[in-house]
Every structure is written in structure tokens, then in C-alpha cells.
Structure 1
Amino acid sequence: MLEEWFPKVVAQFNDWKGVPDQLLDASDAIIGLGHYQGRSKVTGKTFKVPFAHVWFMKDGRTIKLNHNVNTLMLHCAMTVD
């Protein structure tokens, strides 16, 4: 689940930011396109990684979230060359 692994990922970086670039209304869902950026605590490498989120809504509340991010780009930021 997102709430279990996401804080562990974020803890590996300094200056972590999630920046929404675009929000789209899709009737019973909201699509968020944006990017994460920050700097690896281990390597000092900076990164800018795109994400796409889909929040499924019911009665004005989020009932499900699909979180898509390029994990290879995050891995590369954390890997010593």
C-alpha cells in the first residue's frame, strides 16, 4: 500500500517535492500529472521524475488512488556510478 512504502522512499531524499503540473477532471476521477524532484541523500544526485496519479472519487471523497511513477529514474538517482 502507498502509505507503507512511500514514506520509506521519500526518506531516501533531501528536498523532496511533488509538483502538480496539470489536474484533469474525468467525471468520477481526477487525474494529476506532475513530477517529483529532490536530491538523493546517498549520492547527492538531483532528479526530476514524472508522475501520474488517478484519484477515484465518490460523494466528494477519494475511494482509490492509482500512483504511477518512473521508479527506474528514482533508482538511478540513488545508485552510485
Structure 2
Amino acid sequence: MGVTMSDFTTSTAPADVVRRQYLASATGDLEALRTTLAPDVEWTEMAGFPLAGTYRTPAGVTANVMEKLAAGWDDWIVHDDTYVVDGEKVVVLARYTATNKATGKPINVRVAHHFVVRGGRIVRFEQFVDTAKVRDAMTP
């Protein structure tokens, strides 16, 4: 029996929760994105990345990460292509593409994301990315 979209939208399986987060981000639906995050979420953007730091609460994550990316970049997209699932841990190999609004320079960079999902919500996120390529696109 196949999985229907309604099953996917309510599934608490870790990979499904992570995929819903990416889809919400891609469509700019921050309200839907916040529903994938636990109230005590810890979201870490890598040292050297323009938004480096650890953010807490769903509102804190969307305000300090997604909204700032949208303000500084055109068409920021995470192309999630490979999922590796080990219980509550989900590692996603992906690619960022975007164009920096200030410089007009594009990025196309590989990235790895590590999620921990419990009770149908993301409790922890850690980003791994070539920060030099992102910063190069931000430098005139």
C-alpha cells in the first residue's frame, strides 16, 4: 500500500518530519516550518557561516535563520537529495543554491545536515557546509 500525501503530512517518522521542514522552507511557509520544530529545539548554523550560532525555539529559528536568509539572498533553496536514517537521527546530503542580493553572485554548494527527531518534532539540527564558498558570494 502506497503512502498518500495525507499520510506524509501527519507522519511522525523522522525522515518525513525533516522532509516537511524542507518543503515548508522552500515555499516560504514559516508557520508550517515552525510546526516541525520542538519547543526546545537547538538549531546550529556552522561556525564561519554568515548566520553562525545556535538558535532556540521555533520562532527563534525562523527569525534568525530563514527570515535572514530570505532578506540577504534571492531564491535560497535547499536541494535535499540523500537521506540517511538511523532511528531518531537523520542526515541529509543536499545542495544550497541562491544568489546574494548585495553582490549578485550565485552559490551552488554541497551541504550536510544532521537532525535529531523525537515525538514527531526536530529537537536538534547541525549544519555542515563549505562556508568559504558562501562568504565568497557575499564579497564584492
Q: TM-score range by the shorter chain?
A: 0.7 to 0.9
Q: Which amino acid aligns with 1:60?
A: G
**Which residue of the other structure, out of 105, 123, 128, is the alignment partner of 1:63?**
123
User: Gapped runs of 5+ residues in structure 1?
Assistant: none
Greater shift in the superposed pair: 61-70 or 30-39: 61-70
Count the aligned residue pairs: 80
TM-score by length of 2: 0.51
Query: 1:74 aligned to 2:134?
Result: yes
Question: RMSD of the alignment, in Å?
Answer: 1.7
Identity within the alignment, % = 26
Match of 1:31 in 2: 91
Structure having the higher Rg: 2
Runs of 4+ deviating beyond 6 Å:
none
Query: Which has a greater percent of strand?
Result: 1
Deviation by residue 1:11-44 (Cα, 9 ceiling, x = unmatched): 2111111110211112220111101101111111
User: Gapped runs of 5+ residues in structure 2?
Assistant: 1-54
Query: Which has a greater percent of helix?
Result: 2
